[in-house]
Structure 1
Amino acid sequence: MKNTLLIGGSYGIGFAIAKELQAGNNIFVASRTNENLSELNVTHIPFDVLTENLDTSKLPEVIDGLVYCPGSINLRPFKALKIDAFEQDLQVNFLSLVKVIQTILPNLTASNQSSIVLFSTVAVKMGMPFHTSVSASKGAIEGFAKALAAEYAPKIRVNVIAPSLTDTPLANKFLNSDEKKEKSALRNPMKKVGTSDDIAQMASFLLSDKSNWISGQIFHVDGGMSTLLTNQ
């Protein structure tokens, strides 16, 4: 049985990953709330990435997998963004992630080969209007992941999933009506909005031994949005 730690996992993509990993993993979910987790066989650790230090006494000595799920979708014109918005996005998306990894690094290196899965966005590769703040913080994750993967190879594998818009509570304001969902689907080459399960299946693969020769990669699970130009 592998020991897998999810930072955030009570809803959305994190919750879908927790469900996907039920077989073959001891799952630890560190999050602000244990909402929805009662139906899963997981160990919950109360934790707020913005205000608290992770309590490692509640974790096993060996951690085989880490998934960092907290994130933001802060879409506004650049001229309307104050520096505080950039700092807040950088804090939740990147700096808190760095702090978590530094905290549990001994646990990760104690594994024969551990796997870290992080999240970016399709907007880092494509360049989209109103995405300056979130793209800056998510772009930091992509560069960080490759450097960390190089530094700790072959002991720790590090990979990034970069989705397009996915139907999660975080994206609710962009998908809170049938009309919005339809418009978002039509903009995607696959003519659908991604689901938490779409992302969870890739995360599960990257955490498993089936991907033990994959590290330092950015996976665009985005319906082809980052690479395909189709007839609209």
Structure 2
Amino acid sequence: MNNYLIIGGTKGIGLSLANTLSKSHNVTVVSREKSEELAGDIRHISADVTKEAFEYDGEELDGLVYCPGSINLKPFNRLSIDDFQEDMNINLLGAVKSIQANLNKLKKSSNASIVLFSTVAVAQGMPFHTSVAAAKGAIEGFGKSLAAELAPTVRVNIVAPSVTDTPLAAKILSSDEKKEKSGERHPLKRVGEAADIANLAEFLLSDKSGWITGQVIGVDGGMSTLRML
């Protein structure tokens, strides 16, 4: 039974992952608010990791997943420096603080894994995504560099989803019509579900992915690589 720390695990992808992992492992979730949807045996800690680092209180940590993100879609000329700074704080600097606070305990594990999240917009270049794509692009560079630095002790991988039906995307998927139109933009003709992304994160935490590190892996319905005629 492994020990996993999930930052931001009370909604969407993090919630799906936490509940799945809790069936076989010890799971601690850190977020600002608790969710009634969390499985009963999951420990929840209330904290805002963009303001304060949270250190796991056990002796050894087998995996850390950083889930907080943002979808701040605006034309570039309407974005302020504060918008860019907030996206960096949420997506990158919160992850940096969380990993630094728990790195020594991760190093004590025989197969420690860190999972971070990017977006398909980094590779694709999408309008109105300048702020969030900049922050998530920073996550990709950070994650690959960190993977090189921590190998072979701790593995680090990045998951890059396309739009996923979670509370974070509620504004852009606010109706069935919007979901359908968004789904049609993907070769697999649907938007993602939280479990689609959580399933890969679960794999990247497990021993089955023991020879995978420094990768940015798309879970995006084919959007990043396929062009349909």
The TM-score bracket by the shorter chain reads over 0.9
In the other structure, the counterpart of 2:28 is 28
Matched ranges for 1:173-184 at <5 A: 173-184=171-182
In the other structure, the counterpart of 2:89 is 91
- Return the offset for 1:38: 4.9
Selected match of 1:66 from 56, 64, 78? 64
Amino acid at match of 2:137: G
Alignment partner of 1:189: what SS? Answer: coil
Return the TM-score normalized by structure 2.
Answer: 0.97
2: CA distance, partners of 1:189 / 1:142: 24
1:101-139 C-alpha deviation (Å, 9 max, x unpaired): 011111111111200000000000011111100000000
In the other structure, the counterpart of 2:129 is 131
Matched ranges for 1:10-21 at <5 A: 10-21=10-21
- Return the offset for 1:39: 3.2
2: CA distance, partners of 1:85 / 1:173: 18
- Return the offset for 1:11: 1.3
Selected match of 1:160 from 158, 161, 167? 158
Amino acid at match of 1:40: G
- Does the Cα contact within 8 Å between 1:19 and 1:40 map onto a contact in 2? no
Number of matched residues?
A: 229
RMSD across aligned positions (CA) = 1.1
Runs of 4+ deviating beyond 4 Å: none
Amino acid at match of 1:17: L
- Does the Cα contact within 8 Å between 1:164 and 1:221 map onto a contact in 2? yes
- Does the Cα contact within 8 Å between 2:50 and 2:93 map onto a contact in 1? no
Cα gap change, 1:39/1:152 in structure 2, threshold over 3 Å: closer, same or farther? closer
In the other structure, the counterpart of 2:116 is 118
- Structure 2, unmatched stretches of 5+, are none
- Does the Cα contact within 8 Å between 1:13 and 1:199 map onto a contact in 2? yes
